[in-house]
Amino acid sequence: MTKRSTWGGASLADARLALVLAAGAIGSAWMWPGQRALDAIGATLLLAAAIPLAWRRSRPGTVLLLTFILTVPYHNREYLHESAAVLALVALGTCAAYIRREEAIALGFAALVVVMVAMTVGGEDAPNWRDRCGMAGWVLAALVAGQAWRSHHAYVSAIIDRAERAERTRDEVARRRVAEERLRIARDLHDLLAHSITLIGVQAGVAAHLAAQEPPAERAVMVGALDTIAETCRDARHELRATLSVLRDAEEAASYEAVPGLAGLDGLVPLASAARSAGIEVSLTGHDGPPPAPEVGVAVYRIVQEALTNAVKHSRARAVRIELSVVDAELRVSVRDDGRGIEAAGGAREADGAADEAGKDVGFGIVGMAERARSVGGTLVAGPGAEGGFRVEAVLPMGERAGTG
C-alpha cells in the first residue's frame, strides 16, 4: 500500500479534506443562514470543528469527541445545522471504520442519544419528528458507510496478504526445487562416475601390473582388462549423455521412459558382469513378474550400482549376492557382500588419509541410495550384515511414484 505524507499524525490528504469541509461549511452557512446568520463566532466554531478532521485516521475517537463538543454550541446558537452536521457525520463514519461491529452499534446508539438530546433541549424551535428521523437516518448512514469501508479495507488487505504469501510460497518452492535439482545432479553424477571410475581403476591396475612383468604375462587377461576399460568408458559416456538429457528437460525428468539410455532392471545383468570383470563373484536373482514403473527401475539400478561400487572400491569383498523379489506389490532389493564393511574402512581413516576419503565416498553413496529410494516413495536400510560384510536393503513400490524425499 502507498504511504501517506504525515505531519504529527495528520495525513496531507486528510488535512486537505478538513480545509475543504471547513470552507464548504462556512460558505453554506453564510449563503443559507439558519435561525441566525453566520457571524464570527459561528465561523470560528465551524473551523474549530473541522480542523481535528486532519487527524481523523490516526486519532478517530478523539476527533469524534472534539467534533461533537465543538458543534454543540454551534447548534445551540441556531446557525445552519446542516453545515455542522456534515463535519460530525464525517468524524462518526471515520470512527466507525476503525472499530468492530459490536462497538459500532454501541457507538451508534450513543450518537443517536446525544443527537436527540441536543435537538430537544437546544434552540428556540424544537425540531419535529421528521427532523429527528432524518438526523437518525444520517447517523445510521454514517455508521454503515464506516463499517462498509472497514469491510472493504479488510477484504483488500486479505487479498494483498494472500498475494504476498503466494509469492513467498512460490519463492520457497523455487528455492526448494533448485536445491532438489542440485541434489539430483550430484546424486546422478556420483552414481555414474564413481562406478565407472572404480571399474576403470581396477582394470587399469590389473593391466599395469601385467604390463610391468618381463616379459608381459597373461596377454589375454591384459587385453581383456583394456577392453573392459574401453567398454566402460563408452557406457559411461552414453549414460552420462542420457542423464544430462533428463536434467535438461523438466518434462523428461518426470518420465524416464522418454530416455532409453537410462538403464532399469534390464541393466542389472551387464552391471553384474562388469563387477565380475573386477574380480568379484556376483550372483543375481531377479523376479519373473511384471516390471516396475520406469522411475522405480532406474532407482533399483542406481542402488545396486552404488552397492557394487562400494563392494569393489571399499569393502574388498570377494562375493556379492543381489536378490530381487516382489511382496505385496512392493519390490524388495537386497545387496549383500562378504567384505570388511564400512567399520573397517572407517577404522583405517586415522592411519591413512586416502582411507578417510574412501569413508567419505561411502557416506555420500549411502545418502544417495537413501535419497533414490525416497524419491520413488520407498525406504532403504544400509549397514553391517549379521554374518559380516555389508548389506543394503530397499523396499520400493512397484507402481507410480508414491512420495518424494
Domains of the chain listed by start with CATH number? 6-127 (no CATH), 169-397 (3.30.565.10)
Max Cα distance, the chain (Å) = 135
How much is the pLDDT for 381? 92
Compute the half-sphere exposure of residue 151: CA atoms within 13 Å on the CB side of its CA.
8
**Model confidence over 197-250: pLDDT tens digits?**
776 776 677 677 666 666 655 666 667 777 777 776 776 666 666 666 655 554
**Whole-prediction pTM value?**
0.47
How much is the pLDDT for 312? 77
**Model confidence over 46-92: pLDDT tens digits?**
888 888 888 888 888 888 888 888 888 887 777 787 888 888 889 88
**Model confidence over 346-378: pLDDT tens digits?**
443 333 444 444 455 556 678 888 888 888 889
C-alpha cell of residue 157: 488487505
Cis previous bond, 215, omega within 30: yes
- pLDDT band at residue 8 under the 50/70/90 scheme: low
C-alpha cell of residue 189: 553424477
Residues 6+ apart with CB under 8 A from 210: 216, 217, 218, 219, 221, 222, 225
Residues 6+ apart with CB under 8 A from 221: 206, 210
Measured in whole angstroms, the distance separating CA 24 from the mean position of its chain's CA atoms is 53
Beta strand 330-337 with 319-327: parallel, antiparallel or unpaired? Answer: antiparallel
Q: How many CB atoms lie within 10 A of CB 373?
A: 25
How much is the pLDDT for 159? 92
Q: Is residue 186 pLDDT above 80, yes or no?
A: no
The stretch 254-268 carries a mean pLDDT of 58
Q: Is residue 168 pLDDT above 90, yes or no?
A: no
How much is the pLDDT for 350? 36
Comparing 35-49, 54-68, 274-288, 379-393, the range with the smallest average pLDDT is: 274-288
How much is the pLDDT for 392? 92
